[in-house]
Structure 1
Amino acid sequence: MKVAQKVAIVTGGGGGIGGAIADRLAEQGAKVLVADLDPDAAAAVADGINARHPGSAVAEGGDVADADQIRRIIDRAETEFGPVDLYFANAGIAGAPGLDAGNADWDLAFDVNVRAHIRAAQQLVPKWIARGEGYFVSTASAAGLLTQIGSATYAVTKHAAVSFAEWLSVTYGDDGVRVSCLCPMGVETKLMRSGENSGDPLGVAATKAVVSAGEVLQPGQVADIVLDAVDRETFLILPHESVLTMYRQKGSDYDRWLRGMRRFQSSLLEHA
């Protein structure tokens, strides 16, 4: 899909990957609503965009896991710019490490990393089917393909995010609904660094696993890759090419892969 003259919503847009995607969308001629739990962060990104591309962005603070707030954000975008063409479900949380995660931790992780995607799709997909066109971009993670050392809540919910994106594409792809799923590894964001600042050995190991597995990219690099994939309507977006190699190795010999992951985890915990 060509994004010029399109209307997009980017959640988790107050910084990191989301902020960079919002910026790139505006550069390519789209109108963007920047949504974030932190309204000041969302406003800062929108203000920066408008300084370079006047009238291209608006900001909304809100919990994008809440169906009513998603509806409010969609309504604002439609009022300001017109019907929403693209929705970037980018907001995410890292979650608690290990089995110490309680019910509240699990509920929050599922709400932000999975149900937020479902609730947005429930509101947008029927409109897109009626129009014959729309684009849903899910930010998952390489953890959704490979798993995540340290955080069970993150690994499980990112797998679920990948599965939901797959299901959307299978179910509605012939109705004009395009879907992409972003699965990066290390990207220099607050989310990536949350584990090493957790004070928990598994959390520290989680960050070390990511930064030691390959190049840590900047958000702008990832945003460029995402917009190129949207232009080509590619489902699986892998900013780190090594993830595909790892994913193939996992599928070809699961037991060997599990043994290797346990060895990798042990080496990380020794130095945590």
Structure 2
Amino acid sequence: MESKPGQALDQPVISLRGATASLGSRPVLRGIDLTVRSGEVVALLGANGSGKSTAVRAVVGQVPLSDGALSLFGTDFKRFRDWSRIGYVPQRTTAASGVPATVREVVSAGRLARTRFGFLRKADKAAVERALDLVDMGSHADASVNALSGGQHQRVLIARALAGEPELLIMDEPMAGVDLANQEVLANALRSQVAAGTTVLLVLHELGPLEPLIDRAVVLRDGCVTHDGPPPEALGQHALPGHDHVHPHSAHDAEPLRTGLLS
């Protein structure tokens, strides 16, 4: 039976146990355990090729597990259907798709899972406007997404996820390639969501302006968990337990959105 909002704070929202997965013939996850509880903000850190993006893609169903167990909100993954409870921001995509669309139209797509027959009610439109304001894109709502900067694209994608008012927000390197000004806007938006009780799992290159929000850091190396606990103290932007440097993961980790999470 699926858990509902208001249950105990220690209720696991994500539970991965002994998870293994491969990309092609290459093993990427080698029996990892990952638990994210209600209300937590967990950063998934690690070097290039460590498996952190593969781990979050496994959580949202883009990468099948070859072994191990996954449950979401207390429900076995194979039976989980309530994708409207999850907001997902993938890595290195843009809001533009070649099809003319305004910022508001793109963000509105994030609300569709909560609508009937794709019709936005007053409450849905209000949620879209709140999401736009959270990422400081309200003044660009009628602009074409094809005219946005890279940082603005990222803000629109995050607003799309927030428009669905998710209980769990999963973001894959939301700060990658984003300048400091846009990073601060995104950090403020995330701070607001955390204050409202949203559970967050982040893949990060470095903690940066999100550091004050992080409850736990899980560090991967070669598909194994090498640290699960308080965020490492930053002696520099690459200070992580278990290795000397952290770099963005390789392009093979980028995949299209799961169909169930497009809306």
Give the TM interval when normalised to the shorter protein.
0.3 to 0.5
Question: Scaled by the length of structure 1, what TM-score is found?
Answer: 0.33
Higher share in helix: 1
Give the number of the structure with larger relative contact order, counting CA–CA contacts within 8 Å between residues 6 or more apart: 2
